Every structure is written in structure tokens, then in C-alpha cells.
């Protein structure tokens, strides 16, 4: 499930210069970029002020797959008289529409979208911030029995037509469907029923409801135990309802989280049972994995059953006639038929109607829903062979003319198709291996430290103060116990032993160690963790014992969000898949038509003597000869390979990306990245390390150095900008020679800020200029030349020359004025990342043009660009202006990628065709980005583009396999080359080829698992494709 807006996490504020401080206050982290004027007018409209009478609504749109779709919708909306503004968000599948209700109605807007070829639904008014109302739920359902893209289209159509369903997406490769629905209109049971009524198997895997718990219960041995357990549940406060499956031992409990927590619920059941029952929380992914395994096992059992009956049939048909004893028995007449005919008929009937029942059921549900799929072809081909053979036997019994039967063709065909389906299910399971590895990162249990009171994160602890930690007045140690990791609550105190996995996201409150975070972030070097250091659930503690306080659990945890993003990406459709969907919709009717032409053509040819009778099988007729060609055409054609070509490759690629710290949000983003022409880099925190340090502080007045630094630090203390922090740290170090300025001890910094800084008032950030405030009722200005000029501050020539020298050496000059006079200049440097120059050269070799866009001054920007090898520089650009730069590059149809690290880059990330948030760390839910790069390393930009190119190459190769197979095999099956080669493809061989074609496509996609991201030493070896 895609992360919701309430799960949004914001990265620390960052930007390019001190002049950009405060610009972030006007930027939203959303997938659209409305200008402030419209927002202001909207607020007035909604408040009832103003006379414009305009309204803004949100419209849910179904069917958009790429930017062309969103542009089409925008164009359709803007063409409606009365619509003033329309902004379509592709990934969110919705549009914000500003319109005049006197000129156009909501239904007119909906019809305009539907006329453009999309489904639309007017969404309810957005819930105000702070409420807990949940208008819709998102449920994930398993859908068994789908075989090709036609099945997917059929299920999606049925789900979307259900009342109360807002959105429905179905993925063939995972056999999953994600449905957003209104629980007040339709329940999950209604959705499951609709899936089953359509002829498929359906069940709920998980939803975003927070008041349901699925448990595995050990200890229920008989009816009495079950009654005892049900009695305990009935007595527990907060339990609304429960369902116990006594066969599987699964217990589903619906409870009120305001009354009882999940851990208290489990503890209550185990406590009331006096140790009789042992409960374990079941992960939804665990159920999904077991279901996948069960599907493969079921297909294997069907294949073995069919094979065990086909082998005797093969012996009767091929081997026994050459053994006198067996042949004598088989040709012995028993009633109207010989013993051999009776045996073949009986064996094939079991295979056809018992083992092969699934093909008839699937074919019927497809035809009932007005669609066709592979099962229709299999059922048609095997039925034609079976019923012809039965007809031949009956005709022979009546007339005495015995035509050859083809029972073996039907049996072997079903056997080979089942073999192919089994191999396909195994191969498809491999495509989600990366997802399974991510799920397995979370430890099963955790050690809970129990105590009274609460932990204070400001209490600095060392190894020698463990006893005061437990005896401190704010926390009294009681004991520790092992609990299920899925029962951890925010605020819990947890103990992590050396070599153990960290059970939840949190912060260290005691101890120090090194943690291996490679499995989550892709960073191979272990990271040092001390008090107040953040830790990520699923990572491995290397050495020392750590005590952590859990901060994020469940769906809020980083690992859960990574899994959610990968799931969402795997369920999305890449635009290139539209081709396969179209072919799948017409494939089966075309094949059946070709089979009829084959049957009629060979039959007419035989009737008019177009080919000699020697070509006919023994005792065969022109009709039988033609029928075998026709059946081969029906069963050899395979739409499954086309349907699997894209989703399997996307699944593998997104999984591989996640294991390398590159999170891809959808097939659309994955496809676009391969044709990126421009990559726009922010400067601060992207090309540079984002760790600004003051290198120079020069006073140009009678003020002494210490007084000057105190004055500047007091003004900058209210800012969160990296340059401001660097100035404050420099001033503190000057006054106190404070070594903690470099160790990240937040509590010490906060305490030391008090006492030596001056009181300030009227602080304000001036976007693109700097900051200003009052100290001792005198105005202090800290910023660039523009800020000084607007406040009539004269910059002397010698100061200007000093600032230019700083800028030419790739440093930012920060000018300070106090009480109307320029008092000094500070030079701030931000070192470049060591890989920046190599990555820029690698992009150039790949045919991608790097551009640097920064709010810094031109001299500094040019100096940094020269150092990394970037020729195209755009300087003194405000945050909102970066989006305009991107749009200017997109005018000629070029694909533009934006690489940024902060909230101020969100408009540009949203405007770019491919937005990449670098150095996201734990902030994996950045909605404005298409790619989330977990590490703060520019090499991952190369990885993202390279992985996209490799994936698109693999998808095209899959299409070549699938199309070439059908283009070559259908003419062979139809007998086009029979006059020359005199080789007829028997139906069972055609079935084997059909079954293996989809397996070959899935195996082709699995080759992406071998992908290795380019190393720093090999980046320069990448060439333009």
C-alpha cells in the first residue's frame, strides 16, 4: 500500500545559501505545485469571503498510466467552459480542479474526464488536519486463478464497478489486488464475494485498519480448549469480535485500540489461560508467502496426477502394440470397443474433466465476463481433441469404419500445460525474492525493558553510568522479557544484544556500538551509534549492547515504508505495458479465427485435391488432418508470455533497486529514467557534503572579533539552515573551544546556546536574500548583496574585493550589517562529495547532460561547477524558480531528472519527469520524488539510470521472445511449412511449447537479479547505449 499523506516525513531543512533561509515555509511536499495566489484565493473562497464564488474539488481518476494520460486529462478539463485551473497528479490518481459552479457542474467535470477515456469520481472533501476520520480503507487481496492480462483486466473492471470502491489495481505477477474502498458502503467480505462470483479465488491479506490482530494459537488441542479460549476472549475488555479457525489455529481478533493495546490483548489471553495457550502474531507477508508456496504445491500435485495417468496412456498408445502379450489384451473386444479404447477413454476422461476442470472453470468465468484468456484456448483445444476421439469411437462402433483417435493429444496437452504452469509459478515466486528478504529483516522477537516512569533522551549516559540509568528518578528498572516484535509500541524501551537485529526504529538511550545498515540503506560501512543516535529496525547491531527507545513501529517504520514503496511499484503498470494489454484483449479471438481459417483451408484444399492423400494419417480423413492443424494453432498460441513480459521485469527491478538502496515508486518512473537527457543537481547537500564550515571571519569595523561573532550567531540561532548552523558552531567554538561542537551532542548544544547569545526579536527569513532581526532594538542583516542593496547598505570596494575572492574559491560570502553599517564578512565552505566529479563524468559518458541549479551567487556556483566538471550552471535561482528551469528544458520533449536533498527541492522534484531525493536516510516517504536514494551518495544516481536502462532492455527482449514465439510458432502449427518439410506439429508438442514460452519470459526477467550496480571505479566505463 502506498504511503499516505499522514505518514509523510520531512527531511531536515537544507538549501543553497544563507539567502534561501525561510523559503521553505511556502513549499508543500506534494505532487503538485500550485502558486500561492491560487491558494490564497481558495482560502478566501472556502471562508466565504470575496465575491468570486469559485470552488475547488478533487476528482479521483482511474486509468492514467503515464504523463501523456495526465496531460490528456488536463487538456480535457481546461477545455471545459468555467474551469479556471486543473492540476493532475499522476501517481496520486487525482486532479485538483478550480471552477465556477455557476458555469459548470461537478458532473460536467466528471463527464469531461470520462469522454477523454478515463474513469472519474468526485472525491469527498479532504479531512481537516488533526482529525482521525478515515474516509476510505485500502485493502490488499489475493486473487487466485488469474493466468494472463485478460484476467487482470476482467477483475479490475469488476472491482471498479462495485459501489463504494474508489480505486482498484490488480497485478498478475503477484496475484494481488489493491482496493481502496469506503467501509461505510462496502465491506471487505463483499469485495471477496465479488472476486469469487467472478470465478476467482479471493481473500484479504491486509488492510490499513489498526484494530485487527491475526494470531497463531498453539495449545488448542480439542473442543474444550477452544471453548476455554473463546471464554477468555469474551471476558476481555475492548474485544469487539473474534473468529477462531480450529483447523489452522488462526485467531482473528477485532478490538478497540482506545481500550486495549495489541500487547495487552496477547498478554491477557496468555495470562488468563495460565500458560495453556501460546500466541504469535502473524505477519500478513507470512500468509502471502505461504499462499504462494501453496499455489505452487497445488499445481505440482495436479501435474503429477496428470502425468501418472498420461504415462499408462503413452504405453498403451506407443509401447504396448509392439509387445505381443499386451497387444493381444488391448485388441480384445469388450462390447462395442476394444479393451485399449476403453482404457484410453477412461484415463483421458479423468485427466480432461477432473484434473483439467480448472481450465473449464477459468474459461467459463472469462467468457461470462465478456473476455478471453489462455484457459479458453486450452479448453477449446483439448475439448476438440477429446470429443473428436469420442465421436470417432462411436462412429466406428456404428459403421465399422475406425478412424484414428487422439486421446493422447488431449492428455499430454493438459500435462504439459500443468508442467508449464508449475514452472511458471516457481519462477514468478523468484521475482519477489527481494521483497521476501526485506520482510525477513525484521526480527521475530524483541527484549522489552520493563520499568516505571519514562526515559528521558536528554539524560546523557555512558558505560560507567548504567546503574544510575536504572535507578534514576524518572525510570525505575523492573525487569526484561521477550515479546513478539510485532507487539512493540512507540515509547517502549528495548535491549539489543551484540549480533542481534534492531527490532524497531528508535534512538539510542544507553550504550554504544556499530550497526550494519547495508540491508536497508545499501551503505556497506558499519555506522557508529551512541546516545541519541537514530537506529533503523531490521539493521544488525555489531558489537556492544544497546538500549533503544522505539519511536516508529508498524507501518510508520522505515522498513515497512520501504516494503510499502516496493509493493506499490510492483503493482503499478509501466506505460510500455499498454501494448501488451491491447494485444491481450484481441489475442484469443484472433487465434481462434486463425484456427478456423486453418481448419477450413486444409479441408477445402483436401476436397479439391490441392494436396495428395498420402499426406493423410492412416485411416484418416481430410477433416481429421485439418483438425490436428487447427488444434495445434489453438494450443500453441500464448497470450501469457506477453502479459508477464513487463510486470515480472518491474518486480525484479524494483526489488533489486531496494536491496541497493534505490527505491523506485512505480513502473512509470522506472521507464522514464532510461531516457533521461538532463540531470539537474542542487548544490548544497547534493553535490556538496552539506556540512558547511566557516573558514573566514573578517571584521570591517571597530567591533572586536568576539563581539562580532556573538552578534552574528545570535541572529542565526533562530535559523535551521546549514550555513546558519555552521556560523553558530564557529562562534561557540571561538568562545568556549567546545569540542562537542563536532560530536553531535544535541543536548549540550542546546544548553550552551543559553547564556552567551544575545536576545533577538522580529526575526524573519527573506527568501533569496538572507535573514534579519533586531538586537538591542537595532536591525541586523545577514545575507547577500541584494539584501544589503535593498536596505541601502553601502559595500566598500575593498570589502567587495574580499567577497569576490571568497566566491572565486568556491566559498559563500555572508555579509553582515548592524545598525545601518557593514560590520563584517564571513566565508563559509561546503566541501564537495568525493564522488561528485566522477559521477558527473560518468553521466556525460552515458549521454546525459548534468546541470547545476543553485540559489548561490554566480562566482561560487561557477567555481563549484568547474571543480566537478559541470559546464551548464544556473545560479541565484530561488526554490520556486528551479521548477521553471525544469519546464524550460522540457519544452522540446526532453526527459529531465532532478536530484535534490531537501524540502525546498520539492517543487522541482515534482516538476521533473524523474525526481530523485538523495540522502533520504529514514525519510523514505518523500512524495514529491519518483526515486528515493537512501544513501547520501551520488553514485546511486548512476545506479538509478543504469538500472532503468537495463530493465527496459530486458522488457523489450521479453516482448521479442513473446512476439517472436507467436509469430513463428503459429504458422508452423498451421502447417504453412508442411508441404516443404512434411513435418506436422502434434497438439501435445504445441502445448508443451506454449507452456514453456511464458516460463522463458519469466526466466528472462529473473536475469535482472544478477544486476550489480556500477562501482566508482567502473562508472567511467559506462557508455551511451
Extract the runs of DSSP E, i.e. beta strands, from 4-136: 55-62, 83-89, 94-99, 119-122
Q: Give the pLDDT band of residue 781 (cuts 50, 70, 90).
A: very high
Checking if the pLDDT of 808 tops 50, the result is yes
**604 or 240, higher pLDDT:** 604
Mean pLDDT of 555-563: 77
- E strand or H helix at 745: none
- Share of residues in the chain with pLDDT > 70 (%): 78
| Residue pair 270/279 in contact by the 8 Å Cβ criterion | yes
User: What is the Cα–Cα distance from 386 to 348, expressed in whole angstroms?
Assistant: 8
Alpha carbon 623 to its chain's center: 53
User: What is the Cα–Cα distance from 652 to 955, expressed in whole angstroms?
Assistant: 11
Question: Mind listing the pLDDT tens digit for each residue in 677-695?
Answer: 999 998 877 888 877 888 8
Checking if the pLDDT of 34 tops 60, the result is no
- Nearest-CA neighbor of 341 among 297, 373, 389? 389
User: What is the Cα–Cα distance from 869 to 867, expressed in whole angstroms?
Assistant: 6
Question: Mind listing the pLDDT tens digit for each residue in 469-494?
Answer: 443 444 556 678 888 888 888 888 89
User: What is the Cα–Cα distance from 660 to 656, expressed in whole angstroms?
Assistant: 6
- Return the ∠ at Cα 627 (arms to 624 and 629), rounded to 5°: 120
- Nearest-CA neighbor of 936 among 835, 829, 810, 812? 835
- Specify the range with the lowest mean pLDDT, choosing from 22-31, 162-171, 274-283, 537-546: 22-31
User: What is the Cα–Cα distance from 9 to 11, expressed in whole angstroms?
Assistant: 7
Checking if the pLDDT of 508 tops 90, the result is yes
Question: Mind listing the pLDDT tens digit for each residue in 815-874?
Answer: 999 988 999 999 988 888 888 888 898 898 888 999 998 877 788 888 888 888 899 998
Checking if the pLDDT of 1016 tops 70, the result is no
| Residue pair 573/667 in contact by the 8 Å Cβ criterion | yes
Q: Find the length of the chain.
A: 1025
Q: Is 613 exposed, middle or buried (0-12, 13-18, 19+ CB in 10 A)?
A: exposed
Question: Mind listing the pLDDT tens digit for each residue in 715-731?
Answer: 888 877 777 888 888 88
The per-residue pLDDT for 130 is: 31
Please state whether beta strands 931-933 and 914-918 pair in parallel, antiparallel, or not at all (unpaired). Answer: parallel
Q: Is 291 exposed, middle or buried (0-12, 13-18, 19+ CB in 10 A)?
A: middle
Q: Is 70 exposed, middle or buried (0-12, 13-18, 19+ CB in 10 A)?
A: buried
- Nearest-CA neighbor of 142 among 192, 202, 188, 93? 202
- Specify the range with the lowest mean pLDDT, choosing from 8-17, 503-512, 975-984: 8-17
- Residue 544, SS3? coil
The per-residue pLDDT for 970 is: 84
Checking if the pLDDT of 126 tops 70, the result is no
Checking if the pLDDT of 17 tops 80, the result is no
Q: Distances in Å between the alpha carbon of 43 and those of 25, 36, 53?
A: 17, 11, 12
Checking if the pLDDT of 29 tops 60, the result is no
Q: Is 543 exposed, middle or buried (0-12, 13-18, 19+ CB in 10 A)?
A: middle
Question: Mind listing the pLDDT tens digit for each residue in 271-307?
Answer: 887 777 888 887 766 655 665 666 778 888 888 998 8
Specify which of 84-93, 168-177, 922-931, 1008-1017 reaches the highest per-range mean pLDDT: 168-177
The per-residue pLDDT for 67 is: 43
Checking if the pLDDT of 543 tops 60, the result is yes
The per-residue pLDDT for 815 is: 92
The per-residue pLDDT of the chain, averaged, comes to: 76
The per-residue pLDDT for 289 is: 60
Active site residues: 682
Checking if the pLDDT of 464 tops 60, the result is no
The per-residue pLDDT for 460 is: 37
Mean pLDDT of 415-422: 79
Side-chain half-sphere of 216: how many Cα atoms within 13 Å?
10
The per-residue pLDDT for 10 is: 28
- E strand or H helix at 688: none
> Residue holding cell 505532487?
31
| Residue pair 225/572 in contact by the 8 Å Cβ criterion | no
Q: Is 415 exposed, middle or buried (0-12, 13-18, 19+ CB in 10 A)?
A: buried
Mean pLDDT of 16-21: 35
Question: Mind listing the pLDDT tens digit for each residue in 635-680?
Answer: 777 777 777 778 788 888 888 888 888 888 877 888 888 889 999 9
Angle, nearest 10°, between helix axes 374-399 and 339-350?
160
Q: Distances in Å between the alpha carbon of 364 and those of 338, 370, 380, 384?
A: 34, 10, 11, 16
Extract the runs of DSSP E, i.e. beta strands, from 784-831: 812-818, 821-829
Amino acid at each position: 500500500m502506498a504511503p499516505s499523506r499522514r505518514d509523510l516525513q520531512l527531511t531536515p531543512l537544507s538549501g543553497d545559501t544563507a539567502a534561501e533561509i525561510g523559503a521553505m515555509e511556502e513549499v508543500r511536499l506534494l505532487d503538485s505545485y500550485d502558486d500561492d495566489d491560487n491558494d490564497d484565493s481558495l482560502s478566501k473562497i472556502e471562508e466565504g469571503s470575496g465575491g468570486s464564488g469559485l470552488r475547488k474539488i478533487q476528482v479521483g481518476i482511474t486509468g492514467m498510466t503515464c504523463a501523456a494520460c495526465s496531460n490528456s486529462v488536463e487538456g480535457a478539463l481546461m477545455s471545459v467552459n468555467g474551469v479556471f485551473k486543473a492540476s493532475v497528479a499522476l501517481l496520486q490518481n487525482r486532479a485538483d480542479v478550480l471552477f465556477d459552479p455557476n458555469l459548470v457542474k461537478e458532473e460536467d467535470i466528471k463527464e469531461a474526464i470520462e469522454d477523454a477515456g478515463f474513469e472519474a469520481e468526485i472525491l469527498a472533501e479532504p479531512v481537516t488536519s488533526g482529525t482521525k476520520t478515515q474516509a476510505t480503507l485500502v485493502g490488499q487481496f489475493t486473487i487466485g486463478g488469474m493466468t494472463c492480462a485478460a484476467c487482470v483486466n476482467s477483475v479490475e473492471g469488476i472491482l471498479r464497478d462495485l459501489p463504494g470502491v474508489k480505486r482498484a489495481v490488480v497485478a498478475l505477477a503477484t496475484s494481488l489486488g489493491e482496493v481502496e474502498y469506503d467501509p461505510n458502503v462496502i465491506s471487505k467480505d463483499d469485495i471477496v464475494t465479488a472476486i469469487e462470483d467472478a470465478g476467482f479465488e479471493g481473500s484479504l491479506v491486509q488492510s490499513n485498519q489498526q484494530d485487527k490482530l491475526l494470531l497463531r494459537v498453539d495449545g488448542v488441542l480439542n473442543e474444550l480448549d477452544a471453548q476455554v479460549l473463546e471464554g477468555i476472549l469474551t471476558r476481555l475488555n475492548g474485544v469487539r469480535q473474534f473468529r477462531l479457525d480450529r483447523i489452522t489455529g488462526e485467531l482473528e481478533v477485532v478490538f478497540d485500540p482506545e481500550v486495549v493495546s495489541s500487547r495487552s490483548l496477547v498478554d491477557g489471553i496468555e495470562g488468563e489461560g495460565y500458560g495453556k495457550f501460546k500466541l504469535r502474531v502473524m505477519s500478513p507477508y507470512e500468509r502471502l508467502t505461504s499462499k504462494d508456496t501453496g499455489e505452487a504445491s497445488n499445481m505440482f500435485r495436479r501435474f503429477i496426477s496428470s502425468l501418472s495417468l498420461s504415462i499408462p496412456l503413452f504405453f498403451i498408445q506407443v509401447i504396448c502394440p509392439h509387445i505381443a502379450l499386451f497387444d493381444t489384451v488391448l485388441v480384445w473386444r469388450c462390447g462395442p470397443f476394444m479393451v485399449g479404447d476403453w482404457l484410453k477413454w477412461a484415463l483421458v476422461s479423468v485427466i480432461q474433466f477432473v484434473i483439467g476442470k480448472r481450465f473449464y472453470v477459468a474459461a467459463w468465468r472469462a467468457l461470462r465476463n465478456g473476455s478471453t484468456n489462455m484457459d479458453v484456448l486450452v479448453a477449446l483445444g483439448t475439448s476438440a481433441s477429446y470429443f473428436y476421439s469420442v465421436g470417432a469411437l462411436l462412429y466406428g462402433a456404428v459403421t465399422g469404419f475406425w478412424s484414428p483417435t487422439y486421446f493422447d493429444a488431449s492428455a499430454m496437452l493438459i500435462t504439459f500445460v500443468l508442467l508449464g504452469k508449475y514452472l511458471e509459478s516457481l519462477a514468478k515466486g523468484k521475482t519477489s525474492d527481494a521483497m521476501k528478504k526485506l520482510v525477513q529483516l525484521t526480527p521475530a522477537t524483541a527484549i522489552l525493558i520493563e520499568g516505571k516512569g519514562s526515559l528521558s533522551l536528554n539524560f546523557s549516559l555512558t558505560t560507567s553510568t548504567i546503574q544510575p540509568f536504572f535507578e534514576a528518578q524518572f525510570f525505575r528498572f523492573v525487569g526484561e522479557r521477550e515479546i513478539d516484535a510485532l507487539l512493540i509500541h512507540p515509547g517502549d524501551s528495548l535491549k539489543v544484544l551484540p549480533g542481534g537485529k534492531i527490532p524497531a526504529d528508535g534512538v539510542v538511550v544507553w550504550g554504544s556500538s556499530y550497526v550494519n545498515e547495508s540491508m536497508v540503506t545499501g551503505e556497506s560501512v558499519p555506522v557508529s551509534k551512541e546516545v541519541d543516535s537514530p537506529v533503523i529496525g531490521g539493521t544488525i547491531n555489531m558489537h556492544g549492547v544497546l538500549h533503544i527507545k522505539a519511536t516508529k513501529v508498524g507501518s510508520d517504520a522505515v522498513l515497512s515504508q520501504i516494503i510499502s514503496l516496493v509493493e506499490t511499484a510492483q503493482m503499478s503498470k509501466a506505460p510500455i505495458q499498454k501494448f501488451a494489454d491491447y494485444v491481450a484483449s484481441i489475442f484469443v479471438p484472433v487465434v481462434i479465427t486463425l484456427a478456423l481459417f486453418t481448419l477450413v483451408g486444409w479441408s477445402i484444399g483436401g476436397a479439391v485435391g490441392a494436396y495428395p492423400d498420402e499426406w493423410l494419417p492412416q485411416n484418416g480423413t481430410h477433416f481429421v488432418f485439418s483438425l490436428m492443424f487447427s488444434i495445434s494453432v489453438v494450443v500453441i498460441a500464448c497470450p501469457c508470455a506477453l502479459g508477464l513480459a513487463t510486470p515480472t521485469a518491474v518486480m525484479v527491478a524494483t526489488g533489486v533497486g531496494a536491496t541497493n538502496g534505490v527505491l523506485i515508486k512505480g513502473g512509470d518512473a522506472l521507464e522514464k529514467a532510461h531516457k533521461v537527457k538532463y540531470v539537474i543537481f542542487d548544490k548544497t547537500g547534493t553535490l556538496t557534503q552539506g556540512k558547511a564550515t566557516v573558514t573566514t571571519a573578517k571584521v570591517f569595523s571597530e567591533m572586536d572579533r568576539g563581539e562580532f561573532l556573538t552578534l552574528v550567531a545570535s541572529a542565526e540561532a533562530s535559523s535551521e539552515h546549514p550555513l546558519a548552523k555552521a556560523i553558530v558552531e564557529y562562534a561557540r567554538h571561538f568562545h568556549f573551544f567546545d569540542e562537542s561542537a563536532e560530536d553531535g551532542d544535541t543536548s549540550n548544544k542546546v544548553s550552551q546556546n543559553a547564556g552567551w547569545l544575545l536576545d533577538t526579536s522580529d526575526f524573519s527569513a527573506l527568501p533569496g536574500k538572507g535573514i534579519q532581526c533586531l538586537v538591542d532594538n537595532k536591525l541586523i542583516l545577514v545575507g547577500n548583496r541584494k539584501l544589503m542593496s535593498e536596505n541601502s547598505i553601502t559595500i566598500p570596494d575593498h570589502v567587495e574585493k574580499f567577497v569576490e575572492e571568497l566566491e572565486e574559491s568556491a566559498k559563500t560570502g555572508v555579509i553582515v550589517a548592524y545598525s545601518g553599517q557593514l560590520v563584517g564578512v564571513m566565508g563559509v565552505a561546503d566541501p564537495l562529495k568525493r564522488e561528485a566529479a566522477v559521477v558527473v563524468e560518468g553521466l556525460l559518458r552515458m549521454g546525459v547532460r548534468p546541470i547545476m541549479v543553485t540559489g548561490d551567487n554566480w562566482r561560487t556556483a561557477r567555481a563549484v561547477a568547474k571543480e566537478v566538471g559541470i559546464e551548464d550552471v544556473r545560479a541565484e535561482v530561488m526554490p520556486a524558480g528551479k521548477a521553471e528551469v525544469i519546464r524550460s528544458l522540457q519544452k522540446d520533449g526532453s526527459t529531465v531528472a532532478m536530484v535534490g536533498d531537501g524540502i525546498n527541492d520539492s517543487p522541482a522534484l515534482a516538476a521533473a519527469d524523474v525526481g530523485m531525493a538523495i540522502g533520504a536516510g529514514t525519510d523514505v516517504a518523500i512524495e514529491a520524488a519518483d526515486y528515493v536514494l537512501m544513501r547520501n551518495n551520488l553514485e546511486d544516481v548512476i545506479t538509478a539510470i543504469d538500472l532503468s536502462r537495463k530493465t527496459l532492455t530486458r522488457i523489450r527482449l521479453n516482448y521479442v521472445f513473446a512476439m517472436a514465439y507467436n509469430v513463428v510458432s503459429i504458422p508452423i502449427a498451421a502447417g504453412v511449412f508442411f508441404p516443404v518439410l512434411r513435418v506436422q506439429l502434434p497438439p501435445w508438442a504445441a502445448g508443451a511449447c506454449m507452456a514453456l514460452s511464458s516460463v522463458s519470459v519469466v526466466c528472462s526477467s529473473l536475469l535482472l537479479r544478477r544486476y550489480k550496480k556500477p562501482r566508482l571505479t567502473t562508472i567511467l566505463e559506462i557508455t551511451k547505449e
